[in-house]
Amino acid sequence: MTAAAPGPGDALPELSLRLTRADLVRYAGASGDFNLIHWNERFAVGVGLPNVIAHGMLTMALAGLLVTRWIGDPGAVVGYAARFTRPVVVPDDDEGVTLEVTGTVKAVDDEGDIRVATVAITAAVAGKTVLARATARVRLPA
């Protein structure tokens, strides 16, 4: 986290993450989500998708890294929500796709004896937003 106490309008350090098909395989194994749309191109295209897509919860988790790296303590996140606006298409190559994540402190509130920052998160691929209304609530250090 920044040295000074965060305030509304403060930007979090940007995060750029590469996502490959190998990452999708690893996430499927860890999560147990082996849905064909996440690894079988023929099936994904057959159901109307442009290609294999990343798991929505993987996309959301990667976007959440922005906040946990900033605050330095994953346990400080007291709330996190987002809506999925478009799938993250992951090509079958060595490059994969890049998820660009940014965030801005929208508010800092006192909740009893703790301070909580509300952070608006933007996650995009090739300039197109993949999450909407992504917001994390983070307990700030005393």
Is 5 part of a structural domain of the chain? no
Residue with the larger pLDDT of the pair 141 and 101:
101
Global pTM reads 0.91
Per the domain annotation, does 6 fall within a domain? no
Alpha-carbon distances of 10 from 2, 23, 64, 96, rounded to whole Å: 10, 31, 17, 31
Would residue 46 count as lying in a domain?
Answer: no
133 is a domain residue? yes
**Number of structural domains found in the chain:** 1
Residue 70 domain flag: yes
First to last CA, the chain: 13
**Domain boundaries, position 118:** 55-139
Mean pLDDT of the region 22-26: 97
| Domain annotation covers residue 93 | yes
Distances (CA, A) of 105 to 76, 85, 117: 15, 22, 7
- The answer to the question of residue 96 being in a domain is yes
CATH number at residue 110: 3.10.129.10
**pLDDT of amino acid 142:** 82
Give the count of beta carbons closer than 10 Å to the beta carbon of residue 115. Answer: 16
Q: 130 in a domain, yes or no?
A: yes
The model's pLDDT over 92-125, given as tens digits with 9 standing for 90+, comes to 999 999 999 999 999 999 998 999 999 999 999 9
